[in-house]
Amino acid sequence: MYPTECRYSKEHEWVRLDEGGQASVGITYYAQKQLGDVVYVDLPPVGTRLLQFQKFGEVESVKSVSDLFSPVSGEVVAVNQEMADKPELVNKEPYGGGWLIRVALKDAAELEKLLTSQEYQGLVEQEAH
């Protein structure tokens, strides 16, 4: 549920290092489970510069709306166009087709400030109790 190749924020986003200093960002299995059916995702335009832990969008389910926070600093180089018609991908494939944005990392060392899969799992278990 929490792939080891990802790093995690306490706000329940994941980030995964891709090739060429870029990273994909999405929300975790736990986050999508808490939200329930996602019906709308608001994402920033390509070119937006984000700071680590800055709000970059919103994810809306039938029940509620949550802010999205970027786990890393950098420039948005791609947004998942599929979100316009198929936001349910966030529920179905949170680490695959449900990715949200791709960021050109400003400082790869920021990843070290994030939680490992194991640490994040611990956080989720605490929250669930």
Partner 1 sequence: MLQRTPLYPVHQRMGARMTAFAGWEMPESYQGILAESRAVRTGAGLFDVSHLGRYQIQGELALPFMEYLLVSRILPVAVGRARYTLLCHEEGGILDDSLVYHLEQQRYWLVSNALNRVKVGQWLHRWAGPYSVEIADVSPDTAALALQGPSSPMILAQLGDPSAIQGLGPFNCLQTMVGGCQALVSRTGYTGEDGFEIVTGAAEAPGLWQRLLDLGAVPCGLGARDVLRLEAGFVLYGNDIDEMTNPYEAGLGWLVHLDKGEFLGREALQRIKERGVRRRLIGLQMQGREIPRAGYAILVGGDKVGQVTSGTHSPILGTSIGLGYVTPEMATAGTQVEVDIRGKLVPAIIVKGPFYRSRPQS
* Contact with partner 1 (CB under 8 A) among 18, 58, 125, 127: 58
Pattern 87-126, binding to partner 1, x per CB under 8 A?
Answer: xx--x-----------------------------------
Residue 69 identity = F
Minimum CB separation of residue 37 from partner 1 in Å reads 4
Of the residues 3, 11, 17, 39, which one makes contact with partner 1 according to CB under 8 A: 39
Which amino acid belongs to residue 19? E
The answer to whether 46 touches 76, Cβ cutoff 8 Å, is: yes
